[in-house]
Structure 1
Amino acid sequence: MGGGSSRTITLEEERDGAITISENVLKLMIQSSQVQDEHGNMTDFSQQDEQHTHSDRVWQERLRQIEDHWSERLRKAEEKNANLAQITSEQFNQAADKVEAKFMKDKYVCICENLQQAVLDCYQANPKQVLKCSDEVKAFNACVQQTQNSILTGKGMPLSS
């Protein structure tokens, strides 16, 4: 039948699923990629593969451009958000300072301070026998009650400015 030669090609599959072929087999595959269609026109599949590869490169470049665009927009949005957060924080602090200056300018006088200190001293002197401090606690409570009553009746403690 002619001078056809038969060849045996062995393909080996690697552990990772890749197939190893020799350089000669690759050359044969490239040569056989040219096929004649039913009209007698030669079709070169290797050129189609190159066009496909070019198309893939174009898509990959376009995807990279889109990713760069959105990354930049995200960076700008994060920067804008950080600036707004800083401005909002500054405005909040200014408003808090104004409210504090307007409503917190009066300071209250400590009431029954000497009796309060006597109770604390007694508790420290008798940490395990707090009932020994009942007289001091009663005197402190009476002082607080008397101050509350005088404030409610309008004769109360003056506020210091």
Structure 2
Amino acid sequence: MDEDQEYSSMHAKQLEKKEAEMKALDTFFKEQLVQLEKRNLDRYKKTRKQFYDQATKSEALVKARNTESVCINLQSQILNCYKENREQTLQCSDLAKTYMQCIDAAKKCPVKRVTVVTARPLPL
């Protein structure tokens, strides 16, 4: 064999050795990737289950609120008063005061939670 053939043969063996190393590394990293994906999926499932379990517990702890509208009659009266007295809204001040007292009294009532329902914001 001449020198060029020995050199080519030596490089071919080095390339084969490097290819074998690369294949081994490729296989190793693919296996690592599969394991990481499996661990990630397991953690995701576990975390998801914990989240839904805690959400269910939290929902059970939070009581549903029963709300009732209050002062509906006064509300409609004051709205009508403001409509009828657009230029003289002070004409509705006594009614507005009574309405606010009704709302304040309803807020203080410990038995019920109160939601004040308004069709639109009341003018000041």
Report the equivalent of 2:66.
108
Superposition deviation, residue 97 in structure 1: 0.5
* Structure 2, gaps ≥5 residues long: 114-124
Superposition deviation, residue 75 in structure 1: 2.2
| 1:83 maps onto 2:83 in alignment | no
| 1:96 maps onto 2:51 in alignment | no
Superposition deviation, residue 115 in structure 1: 5.8
Structure 1 residues 54 and 118, CA gap change in structure 2 (3 angstroms): farther
Q: Deviations over 1:32-70 (max 9, x none)?
A: x93xxxxxxxxx231221121121121122112112211
Question: How is 1:8-157 mapped onto 2 (pairs within 5 angstroms)?
Answer: 34=2, 44-101=3-60, 103-112=61-70, 114=72, 118=76, 138=96, 141-151=100-110, 156-157=111-112
SS in 1 for 2:32: helix
RCO greater where, 1 or 2, for CA within 8 Å and sep 6 or more? 2
Preserved CA contact (<8 Å) 2:70 2:103: yes
Q: Deviations over 1:77-97 (max 9, x none)?
A: 022112211221111111221
SS in 1 for 2:65: coil
Preserved CA contact (<8 Å) 1:115 1:140: no
Preserved CA contact (<8 Å) 1:150 1:157: yes
Report the equivalent of 2:120.
none
User: Percent same amino acid at aligned positions?
Assistant: 15
* Structure 1, gaps ≥5 residues long: 1-32, 35-43
Superposition deviation, residue 149 in structure 1: 2.4
Residue type of the alignment partner of 1:99: S
Superposition deviation, residue 113 in structure 1: 7.2
User: What number of residue pairs does the alignment pair up?
Assistant: 101
